[in-house]
Amino acid sequence: MTQFSKRWSDPALVATCDVMDRLFQPMTAADGIAFSIGSPAVEALPVDALREISQDVFRRDGRGIEALAYGTKMGIRDLREIIASELLAPKGVHTSADNILITAGGLETMKLLCDIFLDPGDVILVESPTFVHCVMIFQIFNAVCIPCQMDNDGLIMEDVEAKIQKYHPKMIYTVPTFQNPTGVTLSQDRRQKLAELAAKYDVIVIEDDPYRDIRFQGKDLLPIKTFDEAGKVVLANSFSKIFSPGSRLGYVVAPDDIMDKIAYAKVATNSHSSKISEVLAAEFFKRGYFPDHLKRICAIYRERCAAMMEALDAYFPEGTKHTYPDGGLFTWAELPGDIDTTELLKETMDKLHISFVAGRGFYVEGGDAGKNCMRISFGAVPPDKIYTGIKRLGDYIKTKL
């Protein structure tokens, strides 16, 4: 019988992975409506732009050799430069390309940070509820995840500080803008406070900010990183929502001492990210496709979010609470009464062919936390299906009350 490592022989870990696997399963029924998936709208994928770009890129006198050859651990330079000038500087983050490394998607950054920072038993403060895929990675590294309270302005700093003092965490993990799963955004003053706490207590803050640019109303907020005078904030971002998840591109912004180690961990993971993806993405930004593309996709999500808000207010039972996101792909609903969304999901999948993600999975505290909650994605579902699906779902929930 094959012997695995102690970690991967642990039935609890394997069970967690199994749960994760099922949690985000797509709806396969032909008439199904998937409010479960966190994917961008298919209409938001820049297919035509990439056909145009690829015609020039895949030439020997273009960037064909570069795209197909080995690269460097940091990623191609012009992509990192345009990230600095076009995606970071306008948000107030002023950094050199040398402090940006291209990852194979946003999640890989979490893996690399765990590699370099975590010893077994180390504590990570996470949001309650939090993004479960990252928690799975933290658990694989034998980290102890401690949940911190949130309200409609994101993490509550008094609770964060109390838990820093009590648990001495190595890291604080937050999705500050249009959070996954709730859609909630951390307020400006709390962003500043979180950077100050990181400095005061020498804790690393992972600012995971993939939804930031998908803002369709409200005022842009400064990233936590802009308040980072002590070099304790690592900014993680992704091209999945603003360009293409299939490109598997993300980036991490870190101070020199941290970046040196991230870079080595990247080499030891997979040498570097896909050069084909990197060159196509670099050309997408350098040729100026991005500003119009972003306007177009924000309009798509604005319309879908509005449809979702209207449908939830109209069709979900009285007493339902849900968030009103200013951006991103998700809303979060809390049902009235004694409904268990984990049970509900089985029935709606089976009878209505409608999926969402049950709330429990997003709470590291376990027990009944999130029992009556659900993450509802509007990003990948067209408005007419949002109305139809939410009406059917709401009607069904009402029969349970």
Among 29, 162, 267, 299, binds a second copy (CB under 8 A): 267
Among 80, 163, 232, 293, binds a second copy (CB under 8 A): 232
Shortest Cβ distance from residue 195 to a second copy (Å)?
Answer: 15
Using the rule CB under 8 A, is 28 a contact of a second copy? Answer: no
Shortest Cβ distance from residue 314 to a second copy (Å)?
Answer: 30
Shortest Cβ distance from residue 5 to a second copy (Å)?
Answer: 5
Question: Among residue numbers 235 through 264, which ones bind a second copy (CB under 8 A)?
Answer: 240, 244-248, 257-258, 261, 264
Among 5, 28, 165, 399, binds a second copy (CB under 8 A): 5
Question: Among residue numbers 280 through 319, which ones bind a second copy (CB under 8 A)?
Answer: 280
Using the rule CB under 8 A, is 384 a contact of a second copy? Answer: no
Using the rule CB under 8 A, is 144 a contact of a second copy? Answer: no
Shortest Cβ distance from residue 259 to a second copy (Å)?
Answer: 11
Return the range that interacts with a second copy (CB under 8 A); candidates 58-66, 178-186, 209-217, 336-344: 58-66
Using the rule CB under 8 A, is 204 a contact of a second copy? Answer: yes
Using the rule CB under 8 A, is 269 a contact of a second copy? Answer: yes
Using the rule CB under 8 A, is 3 a contact of a second copy? Answer: yes
Would you call 196 exposed, middle or buried from its count of C-beta atoms within 10 A (0-12, 13-18, 19+)?
middle
Question: Among residue numbers 74 through 133, which ones bind a second copy (CB under 8 A)?
Answer: 103-105, 107-108, 111, 115-119, 133
Name which of 97 and 118 has its Cβ closer to a second copy: 118
Would you call 61 exposed, middle or buried from its count of C-beta atoms within 10 A (0-12, 13-18, 19+)?
exposed
Using the rule CB under 8 A, is 199 a contact of a second copy? Answer: no
Using the rule CB under 8 A, is 142 a contact of a second copy? Answer: no
Name which of 202 and 347 has its Cβ closer to a second copy: 202
Among 274, 331, 348, 372, binds a second copy (CB under 8 A): 274
